[in-house]
Structure 1
Amino acid sequence: MKVARSVGVREVAVQDDPEPSAGPGEVVCRVLACGVCGSDISDAWVAPKVPVVLGHELTGEVVEVGAGVVGLAVGDRVVVHHHAPCGECRRCRRGHETLCESFRTTNIAPGGFAERVRVPAELVGELLLLEDLDEERGTFVEPLACVLRAMDRAGLRAGDSLLVLGAGTSGLLAIAAAHARGVEAVWVREPRADRMEHALAAGAERHGNELVDVAFVASGAAEAVTDGFASVAPGGVLLLYATPSPGKPLSLDAVSQYRREVDVIASYSAGARDMIDAYELLASGAVDPMPWVTHRVGLEETGRALEMVRTGEAIKVLVLP
């Protein structure tokens, strides 16, 4: 089968890999679509992994079912999740399942930028049947799940106010999800006119000097963190969501944080419950991400897809093997 393998931080080669097969408890899926995530273009994130087949926002069609698998059949269309926690360790018990060692080590093989993937037994139970979504909308389940978990960690509730800094895919999902969850006021900061248009169309307002309950930093720019911190009302939350630049410390006024009692929260990835919640929001139509899909490419153009997201030419790119 063909795979698009990152052989360098910014170098992708289409190569031949052996066809995967399903062992006991496993399934093999033909990849229908896979979205490009911001982490896929992060040099610091990718460098330790190369050579690697990236891609984790995927939908697939089951083409092989291993012994002992129940509830799935060849031909089923599914959303594939790429991590699963153990559910028993101290981190899982404290609600930090995405920090579980099992969560960090389980994964699909080889990755979503491929014609087929093997889903190991630990992840088969995480598969969600695509009964109410098409395969392209299904690629947004995982990124939306990450956004929902972040909002939950920040304690964002109906009636609160939210500032989203950065209107890439994650920021746009945050705007739409906030409205779906009854957030009273949603503001946005975004320097690019085209992305601002998408944010306004999603229901956000341009931010002035309003103080907010939660500032959702969906940009890796250092100034976004600074601006977000300055916009948090007393007792509010600064939510660090985007992948930060490595080795750069946060620059926050400690006295201001102390006096205002600003909580600084980070959020990484999503758990099984978040995936279900995201699926339901997408299936209901409360969140419609399709206007943000600016490009669709074949597997052989995966390198170009990554570069378009890296340069900002694209908002969301889907790879369709």
Structure 2
Amino acid sequence: MRVARSIGTRDVVVVDAPDPVAGPGEVVCRVLACGVCGSDISDAWVEPKLPVVLGHELTGEVVAVGAGVVGLDEGDRVVIHHHAPCGECRRCRRGHETLCESFRTMNIDPGGFAEHVRIPAELVGELLLLDGLDAERGTFVEPLGCVLRAFERCGLRAGDSLLVVGAGTSGLLAVAAAHARGVEAVWVREPRTDRLERALALGAERHGNELVDVVFLATGAPAALADGFAAVAPGGVLCLYAPPGPGRALDLDGLSLYRREVDVVASYSAGPRDMLAAFELLASGAVDPLPFVTHRLPLHDTGRALELVRSGEAVKALVLP
């Protein structure tokens, strides 16, 4: 099979690799579509893994089923999750499934920017049958699941007010999901006119100086952190959804944080329940992310897909092997 392997943070080669084989409890899927995530263009995230086949927002068609697998057949079309928690460790028991050591180490083989992937036995139970949801919308289950987990971490609920800072894919998903969950008022801050207009078209309002219950930082820019922190109402929450750069300190006024009782939370990835919740929102049509897709490229153009997202030209790019 062919894979798009990153051998540098900006150097991708498409090469032949052995066809994966389904061992006991495993399945092999033909990749239908795979989205480019912000982590795929993060030097700090990618560099320690090199060389690597990236891609984790994917859907596939089952082409081989290993011994002992039940409930799946060749031809089934599925959403593929790349991590699975153990469910038993202290972190899992405290609700931090995405910090579980098993979660961090378990992954698909070799990655979504490939013609085929092997799903380890531990991940087979995480597969979600598309059941009418198309393959491209299915690639948004994982990123939407990440957003929903962040909402849970923030305690965001119907009737609250939300400010989304940054209107890339994650910010747009946050706007759409907040409306779907009955959030009373959704504001947005975004310097790029085209992206701002997308958020406004989803029903967000341009932010002025309103104080809000929750600020969702979908960018790690220092200016965004300052703006977001200033907009948190007393008793509110500042959510670090996009990480700041490596080694960068959070420049927050400690006295202001104390006096306003602002909670600062971070949210990483999505657990099984988040994936299911995201799937249900997408399957119901309550959130439709397909308008966010600005570029679709074949596997041999994976490097270009990454560059389109890195430059900001693409809102969402999909690789279609």
Inter-partner Cα distance in structure 2 for 1:112 and 1:32: 9
Aligned match of 2:287: 287
Inter-partner Cα distance in structure 2 for 1:309 and 1:67: 40
Inter-partner Cα distance in structure 2 for 1:20 and 1:243: 34
Q: Does 1:153 align with 2:153?
A: yes
Inter-partner Cα distance in structure 2 for 1:313 and 1:135: 23
One-letter code aligned to 1:105: T
Q: 3-state DSSP class of the match of 1:275?
A: helix
Aligned match of 2:111: 111
Inter-partner Cα distance in structure 2 for 1:273 and 1:90: 18
Inter-partner Cα distance in structure 2 for 1:19 and 1:171: 37
Equivalent positions of 1:1-321 (< 5 A) are: 1-321=1-321
Inter-partner Cα distance in structure 2 for 1:22 and 1:159: 48
Shift of 1:306: 0.2
Q: 3-state DSSP class of the match of 1:296?
A: strand
Q: 3-state DSSP class of the match of 1:48?
A: helix
What is the number of equivalent residue pairs in this alignment? 321
Q: 3-state DSSP class of the match of 2:173?
A: helix
After TM superposition, which residue ranges in structure 1, 4 or more long, deviate above 3 angstroms? none
Q: Percent identity?
A: 80
Inter-partner Cα distance in structure 1 for 2:313 and 2:3: 24
Inter-partner Cα distance in structure 2 for 1:7 and 1:116: 19
One-letter code aligned to 2:224: A
Q: Deviations over 1:131-154 (max 9, x none)?
A: 030000000000000000000000
Shift of 1:220: 1.6
Task: State whether residues 295 and 318 of structure 1, in contact with CA within 8 Å, keep that contact through their aligned partners in structure 2.
Answer: yes
Structure 2: gaps spanning 5 or more residues: none
Q: 3-state DSSP class of the match of 2:83?
A: coil
Q: TM-score, normalised by structure 2?
A: 1.00
Q: TM-score, normalised by structure 1?
A: 1.00
Shift of 1:243: 2.7
Inter-partner Cα distance in structure 1 for 2:258 and 2:243: 25
Inter-partner Cα distance in structure 2 for 1:219 and 1:246: 14
Q: Deviations over 1:94-149 (max 9, x none)?
A: 00000000000000000000000000000000000000300000000000000000
Inter-partner Cα distance in structure 2 for 1:50 and 1:119: 21
Inter-partner Cα distance in structure 1 for 2:273 and 2:179: 20
Task: State whether residues 146 and 269 of structure 1, in contact with CA within 8 Å, keep that contact through their aligned partners in structure 2.
Answer: yes
One-letter code aligned to 2:47: A
Task: State whether residues 39 and 243 of structure 1, in contact with CA within 8 Å, keep that contact through their aligned partners in structure 2.
Answer: no
Structure 1: gaps spanning 5 or more residues: none
Q: 3-state DSSP class of the match of 1:194?
A: helix
Shift of 1:244: 1.9
Q: 3-state DSSP class of the match of 1:317?
A: strand
Inter-partner Cα distance in structure 2 for 1:287 and 1:230: 29
Q: CA RMSD in A?
A: 0.4
Inter-partner Cα distance in structure 1 for 2:86 and 2:282: 27
